[in-house]
A and B are shown apart, each in its own frame.
Chain A
């Protein structure tokens, strides 16, 4: 069994009187895809924002590679190899693919941009992810489709040598073919040894791509399942609260 790269233990987070995360445990393994599912308001975003260092947790342990760490700023997360691809992607449409992939981390020599080197590294990264759908790495992002933009955003995370990539609803706005492309990309990402945590409402996608499924229900991790050993009905049951909490997890949850 591979040791998890990220391990969360008894994470709690509240906003005033509202307790959003009530002692959550989660593991993300290198080279594997973990899905995080749950209904609206279950606490998925809050859990992710904590990992991204945007909104630190109130209490609980975060272990990265087995070592306890604090995640209080986005820089901390970035330094520990955690990259988040948000749903709105945050790309500059007026810049090209290379410029977007290197934005904020441009390579320079003698104070001027090393465009050739960046172009090469960007091409190599896209190539390692078997991206074939783009004509040119110097294409403006405004000319790309939704799936291609998602690809650029993910490739940007890979370029930063991410150990774990967190994808927030990567297929929400995509058509069938583009969803397929992005899911294949997610799989290849894991095949390269990167840990992937994918948040999705689309259970068909989750079952297609994930190795583990973690279900959040009202701030509690109600189920941590192996995709192979479960089915759609069970997961829906956990998400909607119709199925009860597994005995083995109750200790952590309460």
Chain B
């Protein structure tokens, strides 16, 4: 038989194109218009329920004002620095959990995974006197193995992640006892590890960090713009780009300036950005780029949104799920390192009460527990809100019960905002 396959006729297609009033300008891309148009479009998206981390940021600002009125020390230099270092570990844990929450799974063992990782770390660092970097690499590897384990049982065997990680949550409490011995606590002795949370960068290094942040923001903005221009699609107006970068520069600039002031109450000066800050920013930046700019990142969101659609599109769903659990467990160990550095000891109950705070931070930040919606930065903002509550109430020296009650209330409030915004966005709650 002869081949008479008829290829799509370009002339005909063009004719259809014209008659249909096709694009451009038929269908917009969301990149057109002046800065004002863009602002209006953003407002429309907000009203439609795509609020992202805005409620969490607003909540944080309200909390700051409230606590500042109740206790004038709250926004003092010393407490701002404390707030930042106290947030670091919870922020890291929340970022870790965002990866699994994005695919509509949960990791209840993230806290004890951090505990197991740190138990391995102190045993290697203290008892075997291994270099702290070697010890850290080994404990990160332990995190990878734990993540592979969870991912295998969830993605390949098909057990709900809630059950697998609940099992590990119980089991790893036992493993912590085995690794450290009953009731033992180990001091973190390595000065480098203690420095992460307790020491500050020199003043010049803080400003260097600021310069790098601004330069990278500007460079990526121009890179994206150039790439869109090369593709021949509309770009946002230049002034909007500069406004965005300027906003980043001002906010981070004020923070660096404040942290570089002497916040000591004694004669020995304390100044500079805490060392943990650039570490968190670097990790956050790298993984945000991976999520936003790679096929893997978009596949992760797709698996969270509709796993069946992802499977039919040829995405290896099991691989994506395993990756998410590996990243979660590994970053949980990093959060454990921050916490160990902050409190200075690792005991056999390390990390056992933290995981739900991490989940709470992600939810407060606006990450949807239904999967597919959320950003890593939202985990950080949520952690900031939760730590601000703990810190602020601590300054007021209220009973601890009040602290938990308020944290719980904020969590329910955040979940309500999420649910309501989904309703407004038109997605039915019952279906998910």
Contacts and interface: CB of A to CB of B under 8 A. Distances in A.
B233 interface: yes
Contacts, number: 174
Interface in B1-40: 1-9, 12-13, 16-17, 19-24, 26-31
Interface stretch (A9-17, A87-95, A170-178, A213-221): A87-95
A86 B371 CA distance: 23
Interface in A94-135: 94-95, 99-100, 103-106, 108, 111-117, 119-120, 123-124, 126-132, 134-135
B243 interface: no
Contacts of A123: 23-24, 27, 29, 233
Contact of B16 (A88, A113, A191, A194): A191
Contacts of A234: none
Contact of B4 (A2, A100, A117, A163): A2
Interface in A123-175: 123-124, 126-132, 134-140, 142-143, 163
Contacts of A116: 227-233
Interface residues of A, number: 59
A88 B309 CA distance: 9
A139 B48 CA distance: 12
A103 B3 CA distance: 31
Nearest to A138: B30
A38 interface: no
Given A94-B372, A127-B26, A143-B426, A103 B310 contact: yes
A191 B29 CA distance: 27
A75 to B, nearest CB: 8
Nearest to B292: A113
A5 interface: yes
Given A93-B305, A94-B373, A116-B228, A106 B295 contact: yes
A188 interface: yes
Contacts of A65: 1, 3, 5
Interface of A: 2-3, 5, 30-31, 63, 65-66, 74-75, 86, 88-95, 99-100, 103-106, 108, 111-117, 119-120, 123-124, 126-132, 134-140, 142-143, 163, 188, 191-194
Interface of B: 1-9, 12-13, 16-17, 19-24, 26-31, 48, 50, 227-233, 293-295, 298-299, 301-302, 304-306, 308-310, 312-315, 371-373, 425-427
24 contacts: A30-B5, A30-B6, A66-B2, A74-B314, A90-B309, A92-B302, A93-B305, A94-B304, A94-B371, A104-B314, A111-B294, A119-B233, A120-B232, A123-B24, A126-B26, A127-B22, A130-B17, A130-B19, A131-B26, A132-B26, A137-B30, A138-B31, A142-B426, A191-B12
